[in-house]
Amino acid sequence: MLGLLLLALASRCTGRGVYGKRWYPRRCPRHHTARGWSSRLTPGEVRRAAATLVNGLEVGNLFEEQKVFEVVVNGTADTRHSLTSLRDLLIDAPGGRHVRLQDVADVRIVPSPNMIKREAVSRRLDVSANVRGRDLGSVAREVEERLKTIEFPREYHPVVLGEYAERQAAETRLFWLALAAAVGIFFLLQASFGSWRLTTLSFLTLPSALVGGVLAAYASDGIISLGSLVGFLTVLGIVARNGIMLISHYQHLEQEEGMPFGPELVIRGAKERLAPILMTGATTGLSLIPLIVAGNIPGHEIEHPMAIVILGGLITSTLLNLFVVPALYLRFGKGNPPQPKPSVSPLPAGA
C-alpha cells in the first residue's frame, strides 16, 4: 500500500502525464486454513497447484533441429478468463478427489508490485512517472515537498531519483565551472587591455548580453534547462571576444596611430569593427537555424534549447558591442593615455 500511496502522490503532482506505474492488480488466492484442513491440503500445495494452472510450470525441454523449446504445463485460457473461472478451478486433493479453489482459498484481486529490487542489502520499490504539460523541475520539487508531509513506517524512506537528480548534479557542476570560467575571462580581459578600469567595465557589461537569451528561452517554452545554461556560457564567450576586439582596436587607434581620444576615435573604431562583429553573429546564427527549425524532437533535448538561447543572445550581444560598449568607452576610457613608443637611437658611424 505504500507504493500505491506514492503513486497517487506522483499522479496528483504530474497531472495527466503520469504513466509507467509499477503496481498492478493481481489475482491472489489466499489459503483458508479451516476449509483446507477438511480437504487435507496445505497452503503450499494450494499455491503450487494454482500457480501451475494459472502461470504455468516448466517441466522440461524439447530439442528439435538444434533448437531448445521449453515444455510448460499450463491451464487453458478459460481458467484464466475471469475471477469466477479461477474460483471454479479444480485442484487435485489427496485420495484422488478434486476440490474447487474457492472451497479451500479466498480468491480476490489485490494490488501487488511487479518487481522488488535489492541494492546494498536493502529492498526498494520504484514508483515511476513521466511528466507532461509541466517542467520536470517544478514537478520534482512539488513531489519532494509533499513527501515531507507523509509519515513513513520505520526503516522506510523516499528518495527522488531519475532525470531530475542527474540534472541537479549536472547544474551544480556547471555552476562551479561557469564561476571558474568567469574568473578566467576577467583575467584574460585584464591581460588584453592592461587596464583594471577597462577590464571591470567590459566584464560588467557581459551579463547584459544574456538578456536576449533569457527572453528567447521564455518565449519558446519558458524553461531554463541544462542546454539553456550551456547556451548562456557560449554567449558569454562570444560577447567577451567581440568586446576584446573592439576595445583593443580603440587602444590601437589611440596608441599606435596617434588619434586623440574622443567621439571620432570611438566612431571610427566601431565602423572598422562593424563587419567582423556582424559576420561573427551572422555565421553563428545561421549554423543554429537547422536545430531551431527541427524543434524539440527526441534526441535534441540539449541542442534545441541551447540553440534558442545562443540565437537570442547573439542579437543582444551584437547590439551591446556596437552601441553600448562604444558609449561606455567614450565615457570611462579616457584615463588610459597612449603609451609612448620606445625610441631607437641610431648607431654611430663605424660601430
The string of DSSP letters for 251-297 reads: HHHHHTS-PPSSHHHHHHHHHHTHHHHHHHHHHHHHHHHHHHHH-S-
Cα–Cα distance, 287 to 295 (Å, whole number): 15
Task: Give the pLDDT of residue 185.
Answer: 85
Cα–Cα distance, 86 to 98 (Å, whole number): 14
CATH number of 24-114: 3.30.2090.10
| DSSP state letters, 207-235 | GGGGHHHHHHHHHHTS---HHHHHHHHHH
293 pLDDT above the threshold of 50: yes
For the chain, give the percent of residues with pLDDT over 90.
Answer: 0
Q: What is the pLDDT of residues 220-259, one digit of tens each?
A: 877 777 788 888 888 888 888 888 888 888 888 888 888 8
* Residues 335 and 263 sit within 8 Å (Cβ to Cβ): no
Cα–Cα distance, 140 to 171 (Å, whole number): 15
**Structural domain spans, the chain:** 1-22+130-161, 24-114, 164-332
341 pLDDT above the threshold of 60: no
Report pTM.
0.53
Residue with more model confidence, 12 or 106: 106
User: CB under 8 Å to 325, separation ≥6 — which residues?
Assistant: 202, 205, 243, 246, 247
Closest CA to 74 of 96, 91, 52: 52
Closest CA to 291 of 214, 236, 216, 211: 216
Task: Return the half-sphere exposure (C-beta side, CA atoms, 13 A cut-off) of residue 82.
Answer: 3
Q: What is the pLDDT of residues 185-198, one digit of tens each?
A: 888 888 888 888 88
Residue entry with cell 497447484? 49
End-to-end CA distance of the chain: 101
Task: Give the pLDDT of residue 38.
Answer: 52
Cα–Cα distance, 323 to 295 (Å, whole number): 32
Mean pLDDT, residues 35-40 = 53
299 pLDDT above the threshold of 80: no
Cα–Cα distance, 158 to 126 (Å, whole number): 10
Band (36; pLDDT cuts 50, 70, 90) = very low
293, 296, 299, 301: CA torsion to nearest 10: 120
**Per-residue cell: 39:** 480437504
100 pLDDT above the threshold of 60: yes
CATH number of 164-332: 1.20.1640.10
DSSP, collapsed to helix, strand or coil, labels residue 22 as: coil
